[in-house]
Amino acid sequence: MNANTNKNQVAIVTGASSGMGLGMTQALLEGGYRVVATARTISDSKDLKPSANLVLVDGDIGKKETAIKVADAAIKHFDRIDLLVNNAGIYMPKPFMEYTPEDFEKMIQTNVGGYFFVTQQVVAQMRKQKSGHVVGIATVLVDQPLAGAPISLPVITKSTVPAFSRALAMEFVADGIRFNSISPGIVDTPMHANDDHEFLKKLSPAGRLVKISEIVDALLYLQASPMVNGENIRVDGGAHAGAKW
User: Which residues make up the interface to ligand NAP (CB under 6 A)?
Assistant: 15-21, 39-41, 60-62, 87-91, 110, 137, 139, 184, 186-187, 189-192
Distance CA 206, CA 219 (A): 21
Q: Which is nearer to ligand NAP, 127 or 244 (CB)?
A: 244
Q: Which is nearer to ligand NAP, 12 or 39 (CB)?
A: 39
Please measure the distance between the N-terminal and C-terminal CA atoms of the chain and give it in whole angstroms: 29
Which residues touch 85 (CB under 8 Å, ≥6 apart)?
Answer: 11, 12, 13, 14, 21, 24, 135, 137, 219
Classify burial at 72, counting beta carbons within 10 Å of its beta carbon; exposed 0-12, middle 13-18, buried 19 or more: middle
Tell whether the torsion through CA atoms of 44, 47, 51 and 57 is positive or negative: negative
The distance of closest approach from Cβ of residue 176 to ligand NAP in the complex, given in angstroms and rounded to an integer, is 26
Which residues touch 54 (CB under 8 Å, ≥6 apart)?
Answer: 25, 29, 34, 35, 36, 37, 48
Q: Which is nearer to ligand NAP, 62 or 237 (CB)?
A: 62
The distance of closest approach from Cβ of residue 26 to ligand NAP in the complex, given in angstroms and rounded to an integer, is 13
Distance CA 129, CA 104 (A): 36
The distance of closest approach from Cβ of residue 129 to ligand NAP in the complex, given in angstroms and rounded to an integer, is 25
Single out the residue of 121, 123, 25 nearest to residue 72, CA to CA. Answer: 121
Q: Which is nearer to ligand NAP, 125 or 160 (CB)?
A: 160
The distance of closest approach from Cβ of residue 11 to ligand NAP in the complex, given in angstroms and rounded to an integer, is 15
The distance of closest approach from Cβ of residue 166 to ligand NAP in the complex, given in angstroms and rounded to an integer, is 18
Q: Which is nearer to ligand NAP, 192 or 244 (CB)?
A: 192
Amino acid letter for position 171? E
Kindly state the DSSP code that residue 109 receives in the 8-state scheme. I
The distance of closest approach from Cβ of residue 213 to ligand NAP in the complex, given in angstroms and rounded to an integer, is 13
Distance CA 42, CA 25 (A): 12
The distance of closest approach from Cβ of residue 226 to ligand NAP in the complex, given in angstroms and rounded to an integer, is 25
Q: Which is nearer to ligand NAP, 81 or 212 (CB)?
A: 212
Q: Which is nearer to ligand NAP, 15 or 237 (CB)?
A: 15
